[in-house]
Amino acid sequence: FWRMFRTAVKTLNSEAYIVGENWDNSYPWLTGDQFDAVMNYELMNVLWSYIGDKEHVKCKTDSKAFIASLGDYLVSYPKHVVQHMFNMMDSHDTKRVMTIVSGNVERAKLLYLLQMIMPGSPSIYYGSEWGFEGDAEFNRLCMRFEALLFEQPLYRFLKELIAARKIHPAMHVSNFTLEPLGKNGLKIIKRCDTEEMILLINNSENPLEITSEPTLKLPPFGYSMVFEAL
């Protein structure tokens, strides 16, 4: 059915984007004859396990385990498939981001920051940009439009992050260099033809001192992201 579906859709519009929903490894559906991408629960769970509160995730990981899990995901698909995945951090069938991080806005920022540097198409579930909470049973409530009268810190952060993604091609590429900084710190380097991105993350409730050049002290659940022209 899906092969026939793809033929029919692409005949009508060769630019149509066909997204499937599958919660596990989806390679059998992404070999070029069925879906263009799937809702990326696989990547979502990798990021949840690293940034989320241990009360809300199945398996809490430190930086080394996160690097291993992310590596497993990235090598599970061809690079051109990874570039088209539908990357979301929550959905109509999951807990919301703010619930996953137990209401901590700074942790939510780290989760969205990692989402925005992953190859693929980032998606934000309605209301989560305003910090709405909800578990898997209460995450489809009506949009609370009164909340939009007051600009929230998370909303401003996401606007800035999306703007940065539009102008910095290094955020899009699928090649990573990852290095743990202690148990819960992380250094990520991404490079394209024109620029290099260096991201330092402190996924901890304690300050993290970076002793390499230049020295830097990251606040709890803080980060530093810089871009250098090549």
The answer to whether 102 touches 53, Cβ cutoff 8 Å, is: yes
The answer to whether 178 touches 187, Cβ cutoff 8 Å, is: yes
Confidence at residue 150, expressed as pLDDT on a 0 to 100 scale = 74
The answer to whether 15 touches 36, Cβ cutoff 8 Å, is: no
* Structure-block tokens of residue 47: 């990021």
Q: Using DSSP, state whether 213 is helix, strand or coil.
A: coil
The span from the CA of 53 to the CA of 59, in Å, is: 10
Confidence at residue 210, expressed as pLDDT on a 0 to 100 scale = 87
Phi/psi for 202 (5° steps) reads -110, 95
Confidence at residue 139, expressed as pLDDT on a 0 to 100 scale = 86
**Residue with token string 């696989």:** 42
pLDDT along the chain (230 residues), means of 10: 97 97 93 96 97 92 96 93 95 95 97 97 94 88 80 90 96 93 95 96 94 84 96
How far, in Å, are 139, 179, 198 from residue 193 at the CA level? 41, 22, 15
**pTM confidence score:** 0.94
Confidence at residue 212, expressed as pLDDT on a 0 to 100 scale = 75
Confidence at residue 143, expressed as pLDDT on a 0 to 100 scale = 87
